[in-house]
Structure 1
Amino acid sequence: MAKSMILGADGQPIDLASVNTPQTSQLGHLQRELQSHPTRGLTPSKLAAILDAAEQGDLTAQFDLFEDMEEKDGHIASEMGKRRRALILDWEITAPDNASTLEKRNTEQLGELVQSIPDFEDVIFDATDAIGKGFACLETEWHRVEGFWLPKTLTHRPQSWFQLHRGYRQELRLRSNTADADGIQGEALRPFGWVTHIHKAKSGYLERTALFRQLVWTYLFKNYSVGDLAEFLEIYGIPVRLGKYPPNASEREKATLLRALVGIGHNAAGIIPEGMLIDFKDAATGDPKAFELMISWCERNQSKVILGGTLTSGADGAASTNALGNVHNEVRKDLRDGDIRQLNATITRDLVYAIAAMNGLAPDGIKRCPRFGLITGETEDIQVLSEALPKLVGIGVQVPQDWANQKLGIPMPQPGQVVLGVTPVVQTAPTGTAALTAVMPAPPAQPLTVSQTMQPQLANNVQQATSPWFAQIRKLVESATSLEQIRDGLEQLIPNMTLDQFALAMGEAMAAARLAGRYEVLQEAGAL
């Protein structure tokens, strides 16, 4: 395919020469930067200044703060790990709707190419870094393998390497001291050179949509409470030690006594000169529950922000019930499904389409490009669905078999594959007298009437006349190709019954009717 025919997701032509070298390889100043640690000595005023600077376009300190929060706060790291790892699932590449044979073949080949990307699960995990920080950028380095263009590496780049430009639309750009021809600061991201996942935790400008911005204040309050609790334990957890020395003690002896006091507090052992005393006073009373209450509140708030609830993270023993836990877990599933939809769109646009376009597997552009999709693997209740499907099919609902297999989590069998099944019981159709008796209803609980009692005798008497008739009807139905042909054939079969046979059958039937009538009259007379 000609270079000029390769189009990006925005419809603009792509020059393959621009994808041979990673873009950041020419920006050495970013690679030499060392991250700062804004959480050291963090105060409310300092935190507010960091957030204000981000809103003015300086994102560096804000994202360094986010890195510190995830590294130093175990609860945030744990909850974010749950949400991000929930997206490490099986995946598939699906063809567009009403796909042609060529599109189906391209989809299959594209799936094999994506499957060959090394450590693809790590790519998905790195992209989910956008959930907490608003966006995540993975730089793509390309190479050719057996004639195909494939990503050699997909490397996560720190969010502090980027800056935002507000114009007609917000644009992420690499931080640089240079400007382009339009006077915009920074370098625009090259097409097919990046997988840029933007996660919207809330609506608004990108620098304010990061989930971590909703966690920074609880992080700060929790840090204050943890520090206060540590100070409380240091002061009140160890009893006060008082050293007594004689009036004529020298400065050297006083220093020795002081070292002994300090050593006893940490080592529970020490020595002092003879004549000196150490007195242990009772620890002052204090209650650490206030600090623990604040820490607990902060962590519950963090769990709600990240996972949508608290009962999937910890139990307090009071309001923790199985029903409430299930409700909170359903909220987690809603968040996961939303994360999956956003990530599927990004991987399709920036990775799957890039591979397809560079290898000629998406000739009609991104609109007809195969789609990437994470598979949750959740299925319907087999028992419930097995009871519902026969009822739905019985009232005329048309249920596709592949849909039913998907809901049940049962793959469609491949050609020649052995499948489980129930061996059908073959029953031969009854003829003659058996045909007449087969249509009789099951014997009722009440006593049989005279006509019901004589019906088997009547069937036996007409068997000679009806047996050839049933054989001819069966032959007619088996050989007919339409209902009209069966109708015309029956009209020809009925006259074949001889007059004597017909008279005999009618005579038996009339005799049975007369006897039944007499019996009913006698029964009525007896009742009177």
Structure 2
Amino acid sequence: MPTILDHRGFPIQRAQLAEPQTSRLAALESEFANHPSRGLTPQKLARILQDAERGDLIAQHDLFQDMEEKDGHLFSVVQTRRQVLVGLDFDLKPPPRPSAAEKDMTAYARETLEDYIDSVLFDMTDGVGHGFAPIEQTWGWVEKQQLPVQAVHRPQSWFQLPQTPGLDRNELRLRDSSADGAQLWPFGWILHRHRARSGYVSRSGLFRVLAWPFLFKNFAVRDLADFLEIYGLPLRLGTYNTTATPEDKSTLLRAVVGIGHDAAAIIPEGMAIDFKDAAKGDNKSFDAMISLMERTMSKATLGGTLTSGEGEHGTQALGNVHNELRHDLRDADARQLANTLTLQVVYPVLALNKGLSDPRRCPRVVFDTQEPEDLKTYSDSLPKLASMGMRIPVPWAHDRLKIPVAADGEAVLSVPRPEQTVPPEDRQPPERTPAKSARQELRARLAAQLATTPTAEPDELDSLAAEMMGEWVETSDPMRAAIEHALATATSFDDFSQALEASLAQISPAQLVDLLARGTFAARIWGMLNAPKRPNA
């Protein structure tokens, strides 16, 4: 069996895929966070960050977790940046100029890994703040296929950087009590390295930038709490004589402190407590400091402040600019996630089950970050541009407007005819234009026929036919009147039929019989005169 390499070029060992690597490091499971944010000072924060640069990541990433838990504003803006990535649609695309086998692998990966990618995506976005997000995978057999069956997010404090000179200072390893740590097993991890800024992995996380605003904001919040505790209370001043003992002084101090909260105290004779003016001041300076630090967090995380609720004097145009900046951050984050998913999720599955050996030919995860265009703008402009002669491809319009192409036989929307857009109850009957009388129309037809027929002068039969036509038109007038009357009074087809029968019944049959008899006689005479003669007749 050929050796399978991971995306870094390290050979895999199939026996390692059946168990988590951390199962052999029980000491890590028994660790608890030290919560270094307690008593945090500028000197302590600087020391924590410097230790991380030297390879000790424990305190730094424990602090980062505390920051998310203790600062609601920081948690909100970071979650906004993470959740917008989770909400994106994604697809798997084949490599450029794919072969038939590569198209089949793309379809297989799309069907097999869609749900799995959804399950690990949120944990991968934890790398935005920390700089990396480690997710441990366990593999199993599913319908004769070797697939990842479990993915568990591991704390960043479980990792370290190698200490031996010459080793890669950017390689993350598990802490196993050795100087350099244990290398990560191939195919055993999804290690998403998210670069919010350039530099070593210990300095690439967004929380490195947010740590100082977090510290200064907490100073302001603490001082504001102290101020509010004494705000409005009068200044208590205790006096004692020169013969007071240390015990007397302690008693007086306890009385001065206690009277501010309990409104009751006892003091030895000869001592006194004076009440001065109430504590003055306001909280504007504290609010200004807190607001400044929160705006700094929003700018660092989302690229602006008007998309996180802090803009007090922003216009809609400026808000749109800030929102576009957030879209740029989202698109950049999505590209980094897609690269990790392609190399560390899709490629291992295809390498183990389909024999894929070149990561460069692996189907790519692609996030859909395109914004739907304004439908109204395009619906107005595209017909005008097409009428000017521009050849606009239909697939391009579908792609820009985010409208899928209908499959063969699939029902599609259609443009209604103008009369369909009016409710039936509002439709008006069409106006009837006065038509020519039947007499005028027949005479016009006869005149046109005589004018175009190269015959001799009209004979007696022509005169008779013209006379009959005139009589026929006159006889047909009652019929036309009956039909028009029925149409005008009927509200349904049944009403029309009944009205027409009643009107026709009033016409004299003698008129019709007489006209038909004349026509039959004239037709017989004309046929006898114009029929070709038979031979030997």
TM normalised by structure 2 equals 0.69
Please say if residues 173 and 184 of structure 2, whose CA atoms lie closer than 8 Å, have aligned partners that are also in contact.
yes
Q: Give the Cα separation in 1 of the matches to 2:205 and 2:391.
A: 46
1:196 paired to 2:191: yes
- TM-superposed CA distance for 1:86, in Å, is 0.9
Check 1:17–1:326 CA distance in 2 against 1; reply closer, same or farther (3 A cut).
same
Deviation at 1:387, TM superposition (A): 3.7
* C-alpha contact 2:231 2:280 (8 A) present in aligned 1: yes
Q: Could you tell me whether the CA contact under 8 Å between 1:7 and 1:365 is conserved in 2? A: no
Could you tell me which amino acid in structure 1 is paired with residue 7 of structure 2? A
**Counterpart of 2:181 in 1: which secondary structure?**
strand
Q: Are the structure 2 counterparts of residues 423 and 260 from structure 1 closer, same or farther at C-alpha, using a change threshold of 3 Å?
A: same
Question: Is residue 304–residue 310 contact of structure 1 (8 Å, CA) maintained in 2?
Answer: yes
Deviation digits for residues 473-508 of structure 1 (CA, Å, limit 9, x no counterpart): xxxxxxxxxxxxxxxxxxxxxxxxxxxxxxxxxxxx
The answer (yes or no) to whether the contact 2:295–2:310 under 8 Å persists in 1 is no
1:63-92 per-position Cα deviation (integer Å, ceiling 9, x unaligned): 111111111111111110111111012222
User: 2:173 matched to 1:176?
Assistant: no
Contact 1:380 1:407 in 2 (8 A): yes
Q: Is the 8 A contact 1:9 1:366 kept in 2?
A: yes
Q: What CA distance in whole angstroms lies between the structure 2 residues aligned with 1:169 and 1:45?
A: 25
Question: Which AA in structure 2 matches 1:309?
Answer: G
Q: Does 2:220 align with 1:222?
A: no
Alpha-carbon distance in structure 1 between the residues aligned to 2:388 and 2:10: 53
Equivalent in 359, 362, 365 of residue 366 of structure 1: 359
In structure 2, C-alpha distance between the alignment counterparts of 1:168 and 1:65, rounded to whole Å? 25
2: CA distance, partners of 1:399 / 1:364:
41
Amino acid at match of 1:228: D
Tell me how far 1:390 sits from its aligned partner.
Answer: 4.1
Contact 1:142 1:153 in 2 (8 A): yes
Say whether 1:381 aligns with 2:374. yes
**1:41 Cα deviation from its structure 2 partner:** 1.1
CA-to-partner distance for each residue in 1:375-425, whole Å, 9 max, x for gaps? 236211122223444455566655443332121111121222111234899
Query: Is this contact kept in 1: 2:232–2:280, CA < 8 A?
Result: no
Match for residue 323 of structure 2? 329
User: Distance between the aligned counterparts of 1:405 and 1:393, measured in 2?
Assistant: 15
Closer, same or farther in 2 for the Cα pair 1:401/1:367, shift >3 Å? farther
1:158 has 2:155 as partner: yes
Partner amino acid, structure 2, of 1:342: Q
Distance 2:272 2:144 in 1: 87
Q: 1:66 to 1:423 in 2, by over 3 A?
A: closer
Tell whether the 8 Å contact from 1:140 to 1:155 is kept in structure 2 after alignment.
yes
Tell me the distance in 1 between the aligned counterparts of 2:9 and 2:377. 48
CA-CA distance at 1:345 after TM superposition: 0.6
Cα distance in 1 for partners of 2:121, 2:133 equals 11
TM superposition score normalised by structure 1: 0.70
Contact 1:37–1:65 under 8 Å retained in 2: yes
Using the alignment, how far apart are the partners of 1:243 and 1:162 within structure 2? 57
Within 2, Cα distance between the matches of 1:266 and 1:419?
75
| Aligned 8 A contact 1:150 1:355 in 2 | yes
Measure how far apart 1:330 and its partner are: 0.8
Length, aligned pairs only:
417
1:212 to 207, 216, 233: 207
2:139 maps to: 142
Is 2:4–2:357's contact at 8 Å kept on the other side of the alignment? no
| 1:266 to 1:99, Cα distance in 2 relative to 1, 3 A | farther
| Alignment partner, residue 30 of structure 1 | 28
Aligned to 2:105: 106
Q: Which residue of 1 aligns with 2:67?
A: 69
Q: What's the C-alpha RMSD, in Å, of the aligned pairs?
A: 3.6
Q: Which residue of 1 aligns with 2:456?
A: none
Residue 320 (structure 1) shift? 2.0
For 1:373, what is the secondary structure of its paired residue? strand
Inter-CA distance 195–390: structure 2 relative to 1 (3 Å threshold) = same
Matched, 1:127 2:121: no
1:240 Cα offset (Å): 4.2
CA separation of 1:237 and 1:81: change in aligned 2, threshold 3 A: farther
Equivalents in 2 of 1:244, 1:11: separation in Å? Answer: 80
In structure 2, distance between residues paired with 1:212 and 1:114:
31
CA offsets per residue over residues 109-156 of structure 1, 9 Å max, x none? Answer: 211211343xx5452111111111111111111111112222222111
CA spacing shift, 1:316–1:413, aligned 2, 3 Å: closer
In the aligned structure 2, how far is the partner of 1:352 from the partner of 1:155? 18
1:414 aligns with 2:407: yes
Asked whether the equivalents of residues 351 and 357 of structure 2 are also in contact (C-alpha less than 8 Å), the reply is no
In 2, distance between residues paired with 1:20 and 1:357? Answer: 16
What is the match of residue 502 of structure 1? none
Q: Which of 5, 8, 21 is 2:6 aligned to?
A: 8
CA contact 1:241–1:278 (8 Å) conserved in 2: yes
Q: 1:177 to 1:244 in 2, by over 3 A?
A: closer
Q: 1:62 corresponds to which letter in structure 2?
A: Q
Could you say which residue in structure 2 is the equivalent of 1:488? none
Change (3 A) 1:103 1:178: same
Superposed CA offset, 1:227-263 (max 9, x none): 1111122223433468999xxxxxxxx9999999877
Equivalents in 2 of 1:151, 1:52: separation in Å? 37
Query: Is the radius of gyration larger for structure 1 or structure 2?
Result: 2
1:348 matched residue in structure 2:
342
Q: 2:79 aligns with which of 74, 78, 81?
A: 81
C-alpha distance in 2 between matches for 1:260 and 1:169: 60
Determine if contact 1:130/1:198 at 8 Å carries over to the other structure.
Answer: yes
Taking the aligned partners of 1:63 and 1:255, their CA distance within structure 2 comes to 45
Change (3 A) 1:45 1:112: same
Q: 1:101 to 1:333 in 2, by over 3 A?
A: same
SS, match of residue 234 in structure 2: coil
Q: Distance in 1 between matches of 2:266 and 2:168?
A: 77
Whole-Å Cα distance in 1 between the matches of residues 171 and 287 of structure 2? 43
SS of the residue aligned with 2:172?
strand
Structure 2 equivalent of residue 304 of structure 1: 299
* Secondary structure of 2:314's aligned partner: coil
Q: Is the 8 A contact 1:83 1:307 kept in 2?
A: yes
Give the direction of change, closer, same or farther, for the CA distance of 1:169–1:66 in structure 2 (3 Å limit). closer
Matches of 1:244 and 1:14 in 2, distance apart? 80
Unmatched 5+ stretches in structure 2: 241-248, 419-447, 453-537
Residue of structure 2 equivalent to 1:402: 395
Q: Is the 8 A contact 1:240 1:281 kept in 2?
A: yes
Q: Is the 8 A contact 1:139 1:193 kept in 2?
A: yes
Instruction: For 2:284 and 2:224, locate their aligned partners in 1 and report how far apart those are by CA, in whole Å.
Output: 9
Identity of paired residues, percent? Answer: 52
Distance in 2, matches of 1:373 and 1:19, equals: 27
Given that 1:307 and 1:335 are in contact with CA atoms closer than 8 Å, whether structure 2 keeps it comes out as yes
